[in-house]
A and B are shown apart, each in its own frame.
Chain A
Amino acid sequence: MDSITFTAIASIVTAGLTTGVGCIGPALGEGRSVATAMTALAQQPDAATSITRTLFVGLAMIESTAIYCFVVSMILIFANPFWNHLTEAAAGK
């Protein structure tokens, strides 16, 4: 197996794994925070605006960890520096 094929396989598999495994943590975190916010809303409906605002900010911050993983996968698929280097080296030969 030459290095280009190996890089392609490694990039594709890693891209899938990055998003797949990287989404587990944020998913659990978002589930927990929404559940807690629901409990808080049921107990104190008067504080709904501030709870909802904090919930949205918190959700977006938790979600950004999943987004980092997504960015890494997208870089691996569409803008892979190792792949570009190897294909350029192969074309230059």
Chain B
Amino acid sequence: MHLSPDEIVFWQHGVFKLNATLLFTWAIMLALALGAKLGTRRLVADLQCSRWQNALEIIVLGISRQIETIGLPHPEKYRSFLGTLFLFVAACALCTVLPGYEPPTSSLSTTTALALCVFAAVPFFAIREEGVLRYLKTFVEPTPILLPFNVISELSRTLALAVRLFGNMMSGAMILAILISITPFLFPIVMTVLGLLTGLVQAYIFAILAAVYIAAATRARHGSAPATTRLDHG
């Protein structure tokens, strides 16, 4: 039994290892990029449009609407980043129905990379929106005594983001492996269905939390923040 797909090595040359995490990440990246490219080949602004265009419009508009409900007024600025996060994590979870596949998100390296992207994106969007000084000022609010705690919370929520996704995806695979050795036939199927649900909810949460962090950092000048920012401490 292994803890992460990092340990399955397909090919090795010197220090460079091609493990299952890398391979499946590339496969999903290729599938998502090709799907988006092929789906947007013939775009029309007509009522009659192709099935692919309809499907992609539903996805993109849905993501925009979700970002707007979090409290980011211009979703098109953040859609490319947050939408890609959501689609990648969701695709990683959904592909678990394929035999022989291990979700790349059940490796701590992938989830850490995604969490670091969020960690870097928060100041990026905040500085683009508010300027450096205004962003730095959010660290000394409400009082300068809270400065170390604000810095710690910035770091600890990145860690929590990475470990949450990793733990959820890894535990799904692990429970499946344990159940197959105990009750081989019916129960693993039920757990796979539950794993699909958990994976999608985790993808949603990952994107929503990233949006909440960005919203909390960019909205400093608008005064009071809505209740959604209270999700910070999970």
Interface centre among B163, B167, B201 (most CB of A within 10 A): B167
Contacts of B174 in A (CB 8 A): 74
Stretch at the interface among A32-40, A62-70, A85-93: A62-70
If over half of B's interface residues share one DSSP class (helix, strand or loop), that class is named, otherwise mixed; here it is: helix
List the A side residues contacting B120 at CB < 8 Å: none
Residue B1 is within 8 A (CB to CB) of chain A in the complex: yes
Query: Is there an interface contact between B167 and A70, defined as CB atoms closer than 8 Å?
Result: yes
Q: Which residues of B contact A78 (CB under 8 A)?
A: 1-3
Chain B interface residue count, Cβ-Cβ cutoff 8 angstroms:
20
CB distance from B168 to the nearest CB of A (A): 6
Q: Is the CB of A56 within 8 A of B167?
A: no
Cβ–Cβ < 8 Å partners of B3 in chain A: 74-75, 78-79
Is the beta-carbon distance between B171 and A64 smaller than 8 angstroms? no
Q: Which residue of B163, B166, B205 is within 8 Å of A57 (Cβ)? A: B205
- Bound together, the chains give a CA A61 to CA B209 distance in angstroms of 10
Asked if A60 CB lies within 8 Å of chain B CBs, one says yes
Interface residues of B (CB under 8 A from A): 1-3, 160, 163-164, 166-168, 170-171, 174, 198, 201-202, 204-205, 208, 231, 234
Is there an interface contact between A64 and B201, defined as CB atoms closer than 8 Å? no
User: Which of B2, B166, B201 has most chain A Cβ within 10 Å?
Assistant: B201
Q: List 24 A-B contacts (CB under 8 A).
A: A56-B201, A57-B201, A57-B205, A60-B202, A60-B205, A61-B205, A61-B231, A63-B168, A64-B167, A64-B168, A67-B163, A67-B171, A68-B163, A70-B167, A71-B163, A71-B166, A71-B167, A71-B171, A74-B171, A74-B174, A75-B3, A78-B1, A78-B2, A78-B3
A79 and B201 CA atoms in complex are apart in Å by 28
Size of the chain A interface, CB-CB below 8 angstroms: 14
Residues of B close to A70: CB separation below 8 A: 167, 171
B residues less than 8 Å from A75 (CB atoms) = 3
Residues of B within 8 A of A74 (CB): 3, 170-171, 174
B residues less than 8 Å from A56 (CB atoms): 201, 204
A64 touches B170 (CB 8 A): no
Chain A residue numbers with a CB within 8 Å of B160 are 64
